[in-house]
Chain A
């Protein structure tokens, strides 16, 4: 039996339906963007453009960094629940007794976090750009569009989300408690963000070439993480709590 997108779709549809009635997920998806768009917009709109260029650049970099926190925190919190949550509910065993392969299960769980994260993160970034264009000083607006800022946002949003998703699922696969899984998952998702932060804050000189290079490296890490998580997913251990 080969890889089946029908089975992936079945889990994905179930997850998305489950989100509708899950206050925690709805709350996280709603509160996180509000939090991370309000502060940077206030910073930009209230920014004093008469100051030094370096100061202004730092402020813009910091504001845009907030946008990249969304694709890290949202999926890590959701994915941390993905396996251990099902174990706690007793729903994992009925799923694992179906023909589903671990790769299908993991891809479905990842997509269930990835799709909403992308929708939310890109929407928030779009709103950020629109509000900035309407209310921020033209110098700031042109600075946002100058250089690789937008490219960094577009490239790194899915890649950071991918990393956070695999970290979240990996932690969830090994955890026995949802809350612990969520805390560890958020912590584990942060390292790639540090590189992006150093670039956004001009510690590492920002350039299109560097952005593309780092994005390629992060993509490689995402693919490696997927292989590691797939290897970690052991039906026997998940069902019995004992390693095979």
Chain B
């Protein structure tokens, strides 16, 4: 049996439950509370023991490789799939079968594929969904939703005549019709060109400003880093959760990258002068030093290097992207499975 990696919270504690900075909603709970949720299809585990909490108005990124269980998690929280075990509260309502219609009336989901009726116009598509949500002031709501996605001039167009990017915008307008308490976006920029992707990003950013709680599944890491308050990394189990900078700090020790015109004759002696340096290694570009506090270490290190006669080309704190965090965790999983 392969060891199962425990999820790691941003504060460093390994656990299945994570400390979160939750904004209280009207019910006194987060917009989404998930506790030890699992889903199995026969012997196959889609996701296992997933726990997290999302505050009202938060944009929460849900990352993971293909087959990690992201979409299944979203479908479970959207009441399309019954969980095998665990509990959740979605938009203030417990996730149990009899609450399905009530939960679905308070949430919206934009699946990876827009799923529009291509033989109907944009307005006709939205009218259908306004009816399904039993909304009043249908015309007004459709107008506001289309304005929110900058599509009010295409209301009479057949959806089949729209580009993929525009269809994605219509799907987003559809998801906004019922003013959802939680909006699930499943790979919203999948297959879009850079311009359309940027437009969707801008829309998500504007929704965030309006205080909409967004659950964003993606494997575009730069997208998550740019848009999300917090992210969770899922690979069947929840591997890590927290703000992107917290995850970086948690996973990677703080370090300084030094580039010099020429290698030092005795680096060990030079770096020993600086008390904050905890370790170092030579890289093709220079040296990387693990330090306790980069702000304190950098001036001392610069003085030590100048004192040793080195020509400093650059001296800066190492930057780890969310992609580094992601790859580190996924590599850990691959190694764990190999063992």
Which residues in A have some Cβ–Cβ distance to B below 8 Å?
A: 1, 4, 6-7, 9-11, 13-14, 17-18, 20-22, 89-101, 235-236, 239-240, 242, 244
25 A-B pairs with C-beta separation under 8 A = A1-B105, A7-B132, A10-B130, A13-B127, A17-B120, A20-B119, A93-B80, A93-B115, A94-B171, A97-B107, A97-B108, A98-B129, A98-B132, A98-B133, A99-B104, A99-B105, A100-B104, A100-B132, A235-B79, A235-B81, A236-B82, A240-B72, A240-B75, A242-B41, A242-B42
Complex Cα spacing A9 to B129, Å? 11
A19 nearest CB across to chain B (Å): 9
**Contact between A94 and B134 (Cβ–Cβ < 8 Å)?**
no
Q: Top 3 nearest A-B pairs by Cβ distance?
A: A10-B131, A21-B119, A98-B132
- B174 (CB) vs chain A CBs: closest residue: A94
**From residue B17, how far is it (CB to closest CB) to chain A in Å?**
27
B102 touches A94 (CB 8 A): no
What are the residues of chain B within 8 A of A18 when measuring CB–CB?
117, 119-120
Contacts of A1 in B (CB 8 A): 101-102, 105
Q: Which of A10, A11, A90, A236 contacts B81 (CB 8 A)?
A: A236
B165 within 8 A of A: no
| A237 closest partner in B (C-beta) | B81
- Using a CB–CB cutoff of 8 Å, the interface residues on chain B facing chain A are 41-42, 72, 75, 78-82, 101-102, 104-105, 107-109, 111, 113-120, 124, 127-134, 158, 171, 174
Query: Cα distance A122–B80 when bound, in Å?
Result: 40
Asked if B115 and A91 make an inter-chain contact with CB atoms under 8 angstroms apart, the answer reads: yes
- State A234–B17 Cα separation when bound (angstroms): 32
Residues of A within 8 Å of B113, CB to CB, are 90
B164 CB → nearest A CB, Å:
12
Residues from chain B with a CB closer than 8 A to the CB of A97 are 78-80, 104, 107-109, 111
* Closest residue of B by beta carbon distance from A236: B81
* Chain A residue at minimal CB-CB distance from B114: A90
Chain A positions within 8 Å of B171 at CB level: 94
Measured in the bound complex, the distance between the Cα atoms of B138 and A13 in whole Å is 15
Do residues A98 and B119 form an inter-chain contact, with CB atoms below 8 A? no
Contact residues of A: prevailing secondary structure: helix
A94–B111 touching, CB < 8 Å: yes
**Residues of chain B within 8 A of A236, CB atoms compared:** 80-82
Of all chain B residues, the one with the shortest Cβ separation from A97 is B109
Contacts of B133 in A (CB 8 A): 98-99
Contact B102 A93 (CB under 8 A): no
Closest to A8 in B: B131
Closest to B124 in A: A17
Bound-complex Cα distance A178 to B78 (A): 27
A145 smallest CB distance to B (angstroms): 43
Which residues in A have their C-beta under 8 angstroms from that of B42? Answer: 242
- Verify B128–A13 contact, CB threshold 8 A: yes
Structural contact, B109 and A10, CB atoms closer than 8 A = no
Chain A: minimal CB distance from B47 (Å): 13
Q: Which residues of B contact A11 (CB under 8 A)?
A: 128, 131-132
By the criterion CB–CB under 8 Å, are B80 and A14 in contact?
A: no
What are the residues of chain B within 8 A of A17 when measuring CB–CB? 119-120, 124
Contact B117 A14 (CB under 8 A): yes
Q: Which of B102, B124, B128 has the most CB of A within 10 A?
A: B128
Q: What residues of B have a CB within 8 angstroms of the CB of A90 in the complex? A: 111, 113-115
Contact across chains for B119 and A93 when beta carbons are under 8 A apart: no
Q: How long is the Cα–Cα vector from A93 to B103 in the complex, in angstroms?
A: 15
Whether B131 contacts A6 by the Cβ 8 Å rule is: yes
Instruction: Name the B residues within 8 Å of A239 (CB-CB).
Output: 75, 80-81
Expressed in whole angstroms, the minimum distance between the Cβ of B123 and any Cβ of chain A is 11
Q: Which of A4, A9, A10, A99 has the most CB of B within 10 A?
A: A99
Chain B contacts of A21 at CB under 8 A? 119-120, 158
18 further interface pairs, Cβ-Cβ under 8 Å (given A14-B128, A97-B109, A242-B41): A10-B127, A10-B130, A10-B131, A11-B128, A14-B117, A14-B124, A17-B119, A17-B124, A21-B158, A89-B115, A92-B115, A94-B111, A97-B107, A98-B105, A98-B133, A99-B102, A235-B81, A236-B82
Asked whether B81 lies within 8 Å of A240 as measured between CB atoms, the reply is yes
B132 touches A99 (CB 8 A): yes
> Could you say which residues of chain B place their CB within 8 Å of the CB of A89?
115, 117-118
List the A side residues contacting B108 at CB < 8 Å: 97
- Of all chain B residues, the one with the shortest Cβ separation from A244 is B82
Q: Nearest-CB distance from B23 to chain A (Å)?
A: 25
Contact across chains for A96 and B80 when beta carbons are under 8 A apart:
yes
> Which of A4, A91, A94, A101: most chain B Cβ within 10 A?
A94
Other-chain contact of A22, B82, B102, B109, B119 (Cβ < 8 Å) = B119
The residue on B at minimum CB distance from A94 is B115
Contact residues in A for B80 (Cβ distance below 8 Å): 93, 96-97, 235-236, 239
